[in-house]
Amino acid sequence: MKIPSNTQVRQDPYLTLNGIVKVLSTSSAKDRETLIRDYKYPNPEGKAQGNYYGIARDTIRKYHAASNDCGVVDSCIDSIQLLYKGANASSASKLDNNIRATRAYVNHFGGKKFVPLDIPKVVVEYEGVSLSMRPDYLATEGKRTRIVRYAFSQKGATDKEITFSLQLIAFYARLAGIEVQNNDCQLLIVADGTVKTLSGVSTRFEPTLKSAMREVRRHWADI
């Protein structure tokens, strides 16, 4: 595949938590190669990028920070809709998905009493790949501290995505020095309102992660 000469290029292998989940979850070599290419040659509309649902994440955070004020969501969606003017098909699809995800979140999880916290930045190198471990959300809920990843896809989340999301959240907590219980590590599936929590840390997770990152590093230079 020929890459345009003006395309941004990341020289060193890098993935966000979202990308790590997708690399670990897919069994398709072609899908994995496409994912790695999207990270090496990032663009604002790249579906594999960790910030594809950045607008939805920001809106959700503002919603909870404002004590679950639906007016905040309405205002944000009004602002998003102004971005359609002049947008290409890919950008418009991205806006559509962010609006859909935001509305679905408020519909299913709008009653959660989350109080947002600052998210400590954690970047770790595994097998030559820099991993940005930042989760989607860190908040208190009552007396508990919750570390959250959102499954924003309209299709929900596969069993593998659920498993690896929760293991990565627990891994992040350990690296960041955040003390949480298993049920504080949560995957919120926006499509149907399901909450998945960690059953326990797997001893097989880190070897699996290292093996997958060795593959990412090998492919990075060839893509």
| Cα-based torsion angle of the residue sequence 214, 216, 217, 221 in order, rounded to the nearest 10 degrees | 150
The per-residue pLDDT for range 115-169, each reduced to its tens digit, is 999 999 999 999 999 999 999 999 999 999 999 999 999 999 999 999 999 999 9
Q: Are 59 and 83 in contact (CB under 8 A)?
A: no
The per-residue pLDDT for range 51-65, each reduced to its tens digit, is 889 999 999 999 999
Judged by DSSP in three states, 154 sits in coil
Share of the chain above pLDDT 70, in %: 94
- Give the per-residue pLDDT at 86: 87
Higher-confidence position of 15 and 3: 15
Q: Rounded to whole angstroms, how far apart are CA atoms 119 and 70? A: 24
Average pLDDT over residues 177-187: 97
The per-residue pLDDT for range 74-86, each reduced to its tens digit, is 999 999 999 999 8
128: left (phi over 0), alpha (psi -120 to 50) or beta: left
Q: Rounded to whole angstroms, how far apart are CA atoms 93 and 50? A: 16
Amino acid at 217: R
| pTM higher than 0.85 | yes
Task: Please state the domain extents for the chain.
Answer: 14-220
- Give the per-residue pLDDT at 197: 98
Long-range Cβ pairs for the range 5-11 (8 Å, 24+)? 7/41, 7/43, 8/41, 8/42, 8/43, 9/40, 9/41, 10/39, 10/40, 10/41, 10/42
Closest alpha carbon to 107 in 197, 50, 189, 196? 189
Q: Are 76 and 84 in contact (CB under 8 A)?
A: no
